Structure 1
Amino acid sequence: MIDLQSARLRNSTNALLLFFLGALLAAVAELPYGGWIQIPILSLIWWRMDQQSSHSIKNQFIFGMSFGLGYFVLGLWWIYISLHDIGGMHAALSGLAVFLLAAGMAFFFSSASLSLALAKRKHLTGLILAASWVMIEYLRSVVLTGFPWMGFAEAQFNGPFAPVAAFFGGLACTFLVVWISWEMTQLRKNIFFSATCIISTVALAQLAGFWTFTKPIGEPLSIRLIQGNFEQSLKFNPKAIEEQFSFYTNAIEGQSADLIITPETAYPWPQSNLPAGLLGSLQHFSNNTSSNVLLGVIGETGNSAGVQYTNRALGLSPNAPNYQYDKSHLVPFGEFIPPGFHWFVNAFNVPMSDFARGKQDQAPFSIIRSGKDAVHAAITICYEDVFGGELASRIHRSSQPVNLLINMTNLAWFGESQAPAQQLRLSQLRSLETGLPALRATNTGITAALGPDGKVLSQLDEFTQGVLSLKIQAYSGITPYVLWGNAPILGLSCLLLILGLIRQKRI
């Protein structure tokens, strides 16, 4: 009886420790060298979990859930702001929703970490763990439309494996983070082999940074990124909407540029119901000043069921037909309601939370300049830049070569939290993967321009109203990741898992 109580106490203590280590892992991702710091913390997590590998699968699963819960509760707490502060949902229900989402994400982490308990050949454990993690992260990006936020890859922009992204994408960065952090736990057992793996892998990753696959083309573009800083709680207030319309229209027409971009839903009203003459006036400005303008609006599309709304980027170019991009990858509950969950959305006040999906193969936006070749930009709206594989596929299949990335975002839903910094790192990872510069126009921040290496060229302060004016160089070419997508790293992971199963059966 005493031994049973002692075992339960040890398990509870270990689960609590793993919860705090998971939270610490999420916290350090926000630091300048977070990608480096995460690796030894992960190593400590694997060490603690491996100490329990002789215990039951049930306990190992609980330990993985504890680590995942700590990681995602801290990393995703800002969703509470959108549900409670903006949406008006009861505090208890908002907190429960965040916890359940964190638990759902932790389930994926816990499933991947079971390989620590199942692997019997220790020299393969690290590779099997890394392969499991890659496959689970891929599933996390596709199950129920996917929610791969807060993966290990985006922190690697400030870590040792960032250069690998151009070759094999963010999932390859994840593989290396997990494998190398495991090898750190093995240094006492096999210092020569593990040290060789760690040093050579980090060195090769750093050397990969000397390869470039894209190059500058043409003259730099003049850019104006407009940040309105309008509170989300006022987004659907009629008087606030008038003020918002006035600010963005005046900011656009205040100065010409090759490209002027507003944030997502800067004009938060159905396109057909915008004030009379507004779009005509902006098109007149575009024609007279040779300015290309991208507007965030509420689009409309018709089908047999009637009119449906879309989250749209509307492009105006000099003496050219209007361009439109309708967001394809929608946010569950925020932009579309999964079957059976209307009751949940009805619990908080979010108008127009059930949008129609845009097509996945929409053409890039052509930035027209007099006497010069057009520059083509791939557009993502907010949450879409989480999905690196989808963006790479769009660029690869595009009828026009893509020279620039544009993300239009409204993160006012999440207040003063780490959400804007998290999404900035995702945009930086997308630039690394594609070798293309990126422009981010946001409502409250972080409005920024990124180079093809993902580094911030210029940015506005968060929660300020203003315009970021700069020059940016377009690039041409494609990276191996754009060409191959996730196929190489998924193929390698599948082979390792098959090998692991075969070796396990022989024991």
Structure 2
Amino acid sequence: MSAGQSGLRAGPSDGAAASDRRFFERVAGRVILLWGWRRALVAFLAGALAVLTQAPYDFFAAGFIAFPVLVWLLDGTTLESSGGVLRRLRPAFAVGWWFGFGYFLAGLWWIGGALLVEADEFAWALPLAVVGIPLILAFFYGLATAVARSIWSSNIGRIAAFAFGFALAEWLRGFLFTGFPWNAIGYAAMPVPLLMQSDAVVGMNGMNALAVFVFAVPALLAGRRHLRFGFAVAVLLVAAHVGFGYVRLTAPQPANVKTLDVRIVQPSVDLAEKWDASVRDRIFATMLALSSKEPEAGHQKPQLILWPETSVPFLFTERPDALTAIGDMLAEGQMLIAGAVREEEAAGQGADSRYYNSVVAIDDRGEIADAVDKVHLVPFGEYLPFDGLLKRLGVEQMVAGPMNFSAGNERHAIAVPGGARALPFICYEVIFPDLVSVDAASSELIVNVTNDAWFGDTPGPYQHFRQAQLRAVENGLPLLRAANNGISAVVDPRGRTIDALAINARGAMDVRVPIYRQETLSAAQRRVNGFVVMILFALAAGLLSVRRRLPAN
């Protein structure tokens, strides 16, 4: 019986809804039917569009376009009828690989800037960095779509499969081949402190899964099955995400917390001069001058002064007078934590010295009270993997300094004035959630020193800072960050920036930092929760996929 025959008439809203649904069905249909290079191009462009969800753009609405398009592209892939599992899933892998190539190419192109600092020596490697790294990282997203397609269904189950596939890929990206979890999808859902707090409950594993699920839900607009249920779940997740953030941000700060007066120095040293012996004294004098100036209005003399990564322009073993100068600069009770290259002389005759990218704590007597070496080094930047083989092929270390570094054995907290314990992380070590959480339980302060000047005023330093912010939220600890020329900042345990210096600024800022912990859950529980979220999506996808394959009664 028709609507007219039954006396029922479609209202304006019903007609508009039907029209909208037909529009999405037409768009999805065209995407599903794409083939060959057109399918690869659309996947590539969708991946490039998804980068707009990351810092510094923070245009998260782009995710609601990029990920549904990828879902529809997967809807259009067919499993090979013969061959093993890998061959059957090859079309789905290819779609994800092209998406990943677009995502990482558009999101990491700025890495090439480091090679242009010494262009006469390293410009040849520019294609390897700008194109080669995205080519490799794209394999993770190819894996994500292949896994998702293996438990695919025609309803909301495929959105759950999609979320699980990407969460699994991002987890693997965090540690395979030393790990590089830069611009994980979950960061797109956390552009401001209000939206960062859920990370303290489910960690990055959970946030990656939840973000992909919510971004992909609009793909259901192209059909009728589970449309309302899918959007209801997405709205509920977003409401919980925002609500929890509001509750945590408005919770009162603990009473009678201790404070630490800190000065963070951002010297903005030109990298072309950084290792030039003729200007080292001038660089060092600039560091001393910025550190010893009178406190800013309303601030006390700093108890702790923080210099960026490798900010000391020479080895202390070669210039012991530098320690004397630092001791003369520091007032009684002050401490300097500085990024420096530490030399460990070889024990055997004829053996080479070992060098470490380190932070050193120097007291008011000009003595090194403590030192922590960088544990997680940057491949090709700070050390050369398989150096014997690659050097024979003419490949050398590319960017970080005049020598190869050795990795430190362990990280420990440094005792700073006021009785606090500061846990140091050098440069990109801070992007690894599990690495930061290992020792955070015994610390009261996270310290991150870096030198983002290699990448200039590009998205790179903003993305690096965003990831450092989230480490503060996850562990419920304040963060001190000193960059040679990046974003130096002080962040509270809830991810709010107390004060910061902009890129290209040269100066020093004084901040009174409240020292307290606001950890919602332990790192172990946060990790468990993240895996539970992933497993729930996998189970939902698997059950719905099996149900679809069961014969109808």
Calculate the TM-score normalised by the size of structure 1.
0.88
User: SS of 2:337's equivalent?
Assistant: strand
SS at match of 1:271: coil
Assess if the C-alpha contact under 8 Å between 1:412 and 1:444 holds in 2. yes
**3-state SS of the aligned residue for 2:515?**
strand
Q: In percent, how many aligned pairs have the same letter?
A: 24
Q: Distance in 2 between matches of 1:216 and 1:139?
A: 41
Render the CA deviation track for 1:197-222: whole Å, top value 9, x for unaligned: 01111111222221469846534322
- 1:262, CA displacement in angstroms? 0.7
Q: Aligned equivalents of 1:302 and 1:278: distance in 2?
A: 19
The answer to whether the Cα contact below 8 Å between 2:377 and 2:407 also exists between their aligned partners in 1 is yes
Tell whether 2:71 aligns with 1:24: no
Instruction: Pick closer, same or farther for the CA change 1:8–1:165 going to 2, 3 Å.
Output: closer
> What residue in structure 2 maps to residue 227 of structure 1?
266
Q: Specify the SS of the correspondent of 1:268.
A: coil
1:350/1:482 CA distance change after superposition, 3 Å: closer
From the superposition, tell whether residues 118 and 213 of structure 1 become closer, same or farther in structure 2 (CA, over 3 Å).
farther
Distance in structure 1 (CA, Å) of the matches to 2:257 and 2:43: 52
Q: Is the 8 A contact 1:127 1:179 kept in 2?
A: yes
In structure 2, the residue matched to 1:172 is 206
1:338–1:499 CA distance, 2 compared to 1 (3 A) = farther
Choose the corresponding residue for 2:106, options 71, 74, 97.
74
- Aligned partner of 2:12 in structure 1 is none
Aligned to 1:280: 324
Q: Is the 8 A contact 1:333 1:353 kept in 2?
A: no
- Establish whether residue 156 from structure 1 lines up as the match of residue 189 from structure 2: yes
Match of 2:404 among 335, 338, 354: 354
Letter in 2 for 1:163: Q
CA contact (8 A) 1:316 1:322 kept: yes
Task: Return the alpha-carbon distance in structure 1 between the equivalents of residues 133 and 252 of structure 2.
Answer: 38
8 Å contact 1:87–1:350 — kept in the other structure? no
Q: Residue 241 of structure 1 is aligned with which of 249, 263, 280? A: 280
Compared with structure 1, are the counterparts of its residues 243 and 429 closer, same or farther at alpha carbon in structure 2 (3 Å cutoff)?
same
Match of 2:338 in 1: 295
* Helix, strand or coil at the partner of 1:480: coil
| Distance verdict in 2 for CA 1:301–1:37, change over 3 Å | farther
Equivalent residue of 2:409, what SS?
coil
Contact 2:472 2:494 in 1 (8 A): yes
Q: 2:414 aligns with which of 365, 384, 390?
A: 365
Considering only aligned residues, what root-mean-square deviation do their CA atoms show, in Å?
2.8
- Aligned pair in 2 of structure 1 residues 20, 120: CA closer, same or farther (>3 Å)? closer
**Is 1:114 matched with 2:146?**
yes
Query: Alpha carbons of 1:197 and 1:500: their partners in 2 closer, same or farther (altered >3 Å)?
Result: closer
The number of aligned residues is: 489
Which residue, out of 460, 463, 485, partners 1:444? 485
Please tell me whether the aligned partners of residues 52 and 60 of structure 1 are also in contact (alpha carbons under 8 angstroms): no
Classify the secondary structure of the residue corresponding to 1:413.
Answer: helix
Contact 1:448 1:459 in 2 (8 A): yes
Q: Is the 8 A contact 1:386 1:426 kept in 2?
A: yes
- Following superposition, the deviation at residue 155 of structure 1 comes to 3.0
Between the aligned partners of 2:203 and 2:78, the Cα distance in structure 1 is 35
Match of 2:96 among 64, 70, 76: 64
Superposed displacement of residue 237, structure 1: 0.8
How far is the alpha carbon of 1:504 from its aligned partner?
Answer: 5.7
Of 489-498 and 442-451, deviating more is 489-498
Change (3 A) 1:441 1:357: same
Partner of 1:329: 376
Distance 1:301 1:403 in 2: 30
Q: Deviations for 1:68-91, whole angstroms, at most 9, x for unmatched residues?
A: 111111111111111234354554
CA distance in 2, matches of 1:260, 1:233: 25
1:24 maps to a residue whose letter is L
Give the conservation status (yes or no) of the 8 Å contact 1:161–1:176: no
CA distance in 1: counterparts of 2:270 and 2:396, whole angstroms: 21
Structure 1 residues not aligned, in runs of 5+? 1-6
**Which runs of 5 or more structure 2 residues have no equivalent in the other structure?**
1-31, 81-88, 295-300
Question: Does 1:15 find its partner at 2:46?
Answer: no
Task: Tell me whether 1:418 sits opposite 2:442 in the alignment.
Answer: no
1:140 alignment partner, one of 164, 169, 173: 173
Instruction: Tell me which of 315, 318, 321 is aligned to 1:270.
Output: 315
C-alpha distance in 2 between matches for 1:312 and 1:217 = 34
Structure 2 distance, partners of 1:280, 1:271, is 10
Verify: 1:126 aligned to 2:159, yes or no: yes
Q: What is the SS of the residue equivalent to 2:485?
A: coil
Aligned counterparts of 2:183 and 2:394: Cα–Cα separation in 1: 24
**In structure 2, which of residues 232, 257, 266 is the aligned counterpart of residue 196 of structure 1?**
232
Compared with structure 1, are the counterparts of its residues 497 and 157 closer, same or farther at alpha carbon in structure 2 (3 Å cutoff)?
A: closer
Greater fraction strand: 1
* CA offsets 1:224-280 (integer angstroms, 9 cap, x no match): 11111112122111122222111112222334411111110001322312x232213
Moved more, 344-353 or 484-493: 344-353
